[in-house]
């Protein structure tokens, strides 16, 4: 099985999670990047409206993979604008998709899972499972903090990943 871990991260928390997942599944890691980062308020406002951010061109093809891990921070209670763009542009026909999310709030971000799952489904993909980790806006998430919950999550889904 070929595994791809694709994510957006503004302050590296989601990136840390992506790197740990990638290690656990021996996957390729690809970062979605905005052409221009913009302000915190602007990012939150655009996300609240469900807008898409202008992203740099993508140098990979999801067709080369069986399992796609898609990661986003929560912005204003929604998915981040670069991930909105990715989900709108991509063809996920026949792909198993795993969603991972980081946010500062402690409650599970079900509405964000659901909105991502709906878009994955409309692009032909199937969401197998989701993962969430709470972060602290003042202290970056460390790989030590992330490692155990991620390895538990991956172990739970091992049957899909071999």
Give the footprint of ligand FMN on this chain (CB under 6 A). Answer: 9-15, 40, 43-44, 73-77, 102-105, 135, 137
Q: How far is the CB of 40 from ligand FMN (least distance, A)?
A: 5
Q: Which is nearer to ligand FMN, 14 or 130 (CB)?
A: 14
Q: How far is the CB of 153 from ligand FMN (least distance, A)?
A: 16
Q: How far is the CB of 93 from ligand FMN (least distance, A)?
A: 28
Torsions phi, psi for 96 (to 5 deg)? -85, 130
Burial of 66 (0-12, 13-18, 19+ CB in 10 A): middle
Q: How far is the CB of 13 from ligand FMN (least distance, A)?
A: 3
Q: How far is the CB of 26 from ligand FMN (least distance, A)?
A: 22
Q: Which is nearer to ligand FMN, 96 or 135 (CB)?
A: 135
User: Are the C-beta atoms of 91 and 68 separated by less than 8 Å?
Assistant: no
CA–CA distance, 151 with 16 (Å, rounded to integer)? 13
- The SS3 call for residue 125 is coil
Burial of 99 (0-12, 13-18, 19+ CB in 10 A): buried
Instruction: Give DSSP secondary structure letters for 52-103.
Output: PPPBPPP---GGG-SEEEEEEEEETTEE-HHHHHHHHH---TT-EEEEEEEE
Q: Which is nearer to ligand FMN, 3 or 135 (CB)?
A: 135
For the chain, state the CA radius of gyration. 14
Q: Which is nearer to ligand FMN, 42 or 94 (CB)?
A: 42
Q: Which is nearer to ligand FMN, 83 or 161 (CB)?
A: 83
């Amino acid at each position: 099985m070929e595994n791809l871990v694709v994510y957006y991260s503004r302050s590296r928390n989601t990136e840390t999670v992506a790197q740990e997942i990638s290690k656990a599944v021996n996957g390729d890691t690809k970062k979605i990047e905005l052409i221009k980062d913009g302000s915190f308020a602007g990012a939150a406002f655009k996300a609240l409206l469900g807008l898409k951010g202008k992203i740099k061109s993508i140098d990979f093809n999801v067709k080369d993979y069986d399992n796609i891990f898609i990661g986003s921070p929560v912005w204003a209670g929604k998915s981040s604008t670069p991930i909105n763009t990715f989900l709108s542009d991509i063809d996920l026909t026949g792909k198993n998709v795993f969603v991972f999310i980081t946010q500062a709030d402690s409650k599970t971000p079900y509405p964000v899972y659901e909105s991502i799952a709906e878009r994955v489904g409309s692009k032909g993909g199937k969401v197998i499972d989701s993962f969430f980790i709470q972060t602290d806006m003042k202290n970056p998430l460390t790989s030590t903090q992330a490692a155990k919950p991620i390895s538990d999550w991956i172990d739970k889904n091992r049957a899909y990943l071999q």
